[in-house]
């Protein structure tokens, strides 16, 4: 009996000591260090704004309280930034990626030829579940989704790996819309400037981007045509979701897949081989930041939505997103193949 009690006490002691040791190990490592939060888009866009908001507050919740700075590495729909974090830099916990939410589709579509393996990254969490909106400038003759099926319009995009490209291409296939794509914009901010200047007719991207330009809404400078996500945005309550308007079983599966990818909107991650104690330390810090009153107030003051979820929840969501039938995967692979 005494032997059993001693064994139980020892097990309990180990259970308490191990987390403390991991915490101390992470604190020793991060003290005096700088963490790079690498985003795949230019300054001023929505990804950049969320990256800077997170970087401003997460450091004080990380053991050792390292400095956290944002690096902008635009290009190839943020694929360059993802490769920098996952392949180029050491997997030591000092580089966090915040790249296009459509990038995990690369693993589904390209398989072993994918440039980065997003299925194996260690997600810290998701800052917000956003809704995407297809919009055109008010001067466009296109005013409804039906018009979009009859008239060609030109949309801007960062590149084939980004949501700004993927969603319009999928819409052309599922709904018969006539969207012509122009790629190469460094970020969504430049895409939206292109809309204002008349270089392009419209864009597909997060509604949160539009909210950063309140005059676009109040002065009706844009015309929303469709929204994509897992639920309707309050601003767009009368606008249909993509999943409401598609027909056919396969098309519905594709619409659900794209909508789920859009909803995992601003999810930072660590490279696959990051030491486990540092993964845990940064996940805990992310969760604590999401509950930090100063962080929540800063987001509200900047008109930035928050609807966070944990790293474990994001990993489960991603696994469900990428668990699709070979038929759906093959169709998307052909549809989203990079232009030659």
Residue 339 within any structural domain of the chain: no
pLDDT category at 6 given cuts 50, 70, 90 is very low
Q: Which of 243, 262, 281 is the endpoint of a domain? A: 262
Same domain, 158 and 51: no
pLDDT category at 227 given cuts 50, 70, 90 is very high
DSSP codes, 76-107:
GGGHHHHHIIIIIS-SSSSEEEE--TTTHHHH
Same domain, 140 and 120: no
Comparing 1-10, 15-24, 184-193, the range with the smallest average pLDDT is: 1-10
Q: What is the pTM of this model?
A: 0.77
Nearest CA-CA partner of 140 in 176, 179, 189 = 179
State how many domains the chain has.
2
**Domain of 240, in residue numbers:** 132-262
pLDDT category at 158 given cuts 50, 70, 90 is confident
User: Helices marked H in the chain — which ranges?
Assistant: 2-30, 46-58, 79-83, 104-110, 145-148, 163-175, 188-197, 207-211, 214-218, 242-245, 249-263, 276-290, 293-301, 311-321, 326-335
> How far is 198 from 274, CA to CA, in rounded Å?
45
Same domain, 271 and 308: yes
CATH of the domain at 62: 3.40.190.150
pLDDT of 23: 57
Mean pLDDT of 15-27: 60
pLDDT of 162: 76
Same domain, 57 and 175: no
Same domain, 223 and 327: no
Sign of CA dihedral 326, 329, 330, 331: positive
Tell me: pLDDT of 183 over 50.
yes
Same domain, 164 and 201: yes
- Give the residue with greater pLDDT, 144 vs 13: 144
Q: Which of 241, 262, 283 is the endpoint of a domain? A: 262
pLDDT of 124: 97
pLDDT of 334: 85
pLDDT of 125: 97
The DSSP symbol for 234 reads G
Q: Which of 213, 237, 262 is the endpoint of a domain? A: 262
Same domain, 137 and 256: yes
Mean pLDDT of 105-130: 81
pLDDT of 338: 65
pLDDT category at 46 given cuts 50, 70, 90 is confident
Nearest CA-CA partner of 101 in 218, 244, 263 = 263
Same domain, 39 and 96: yes
> How far is 154 from 177, CA to CA, in rounded Å?
11
Q: What percentage of the chain has pLDDT greater than the value 90?
A: 63
Backbone angle region of 75, left / alpha / beta, with phi > 0 → left and psi within -120 to 50 → alpha: left
**Contact yes or no for 156/203 (Cβ under 8 A):** yes
- Give the residue with greater pLDDT, 303 vs 178: 178
Residue 337 within any structural domain of the chain: no
pLDDT category at 296 given cuts 50, 70, 90 is very high
CATH of the domain at 164: 3.40.190.10
Residue 64 within any structural domain of the chain: yes
Residue 31 within any structural domain of the chain: yes
Same domain, 30 and 107: yes
Same domain, 246 and 141: yes
Same domain, 121 and 161: no
């Amino acid at each position: 009996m005494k032997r059993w009690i001693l064994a139980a006490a020892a097990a309990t002691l180990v259970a308490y000591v191990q987390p403390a040791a991991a915490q101390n190990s992470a604190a020793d490592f991060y003290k005096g260090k700088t963490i790079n939060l690498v985003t795949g888009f230019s300054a001023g866009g929505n990804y950049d704004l969320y990256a800077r908001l997170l970087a401003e507050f997460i450091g004080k919740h990380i053991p050792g309280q390292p400095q956290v700075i944002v690096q902008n590495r635009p290009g190839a729909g943020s694929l360059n930034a993802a490769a920098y974090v996952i392949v180029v830099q050491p997997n030591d916990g000092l580089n966090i990626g915040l790249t296009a939410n459509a990038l995990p589709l690369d693993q589904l579509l390209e398989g072993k030829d994918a440039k980065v393996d997003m299925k194996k990254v260690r997600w810290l969490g998701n800052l917000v579940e956003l809704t995407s909106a297809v919009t055109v400038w008010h001067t466009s003759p296109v005013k409804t989704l039906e018009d979009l099926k009859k008239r060609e319009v030109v949309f801007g995009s960062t590149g084939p790996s980004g949501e700004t490209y993927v969603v319009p291409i999928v819409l052309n296939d599922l709904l018969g819309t006539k969207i012509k794509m122009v790629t190469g914009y460094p970020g969504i901010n430049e895409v939206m400037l292109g809309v204002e200047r008349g270089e392009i007719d419209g864009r597909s991207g997060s509604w949160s981007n539009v909210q950063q330009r309140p005059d676009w809404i109040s002065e009706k400078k844009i015309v929303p045509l469709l929204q994509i996500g897992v639920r309707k945005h309050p601003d767009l309550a009368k606008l249909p979701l993509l999943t409401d308007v598609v027909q056919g079983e396969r098309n519905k599966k594709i619409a659900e897949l794209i909508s789920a990818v859009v909803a995992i909107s601003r999810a930072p991650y660590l490279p696959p081989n990051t030491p486990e104690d540092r993964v845990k330390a940064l996940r805990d810090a992310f969760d604590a930041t999401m509950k930090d009153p100063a962080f929540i107030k800063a987001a509200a003051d900047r008109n930035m939505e928050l609807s966070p979820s944990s790293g474990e929840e994001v990993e489960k969501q991603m696994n469900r997103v990428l668990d699709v039938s070979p038929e759906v995967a093959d169709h998307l692979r052909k549809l989203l193949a990079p232009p030659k």
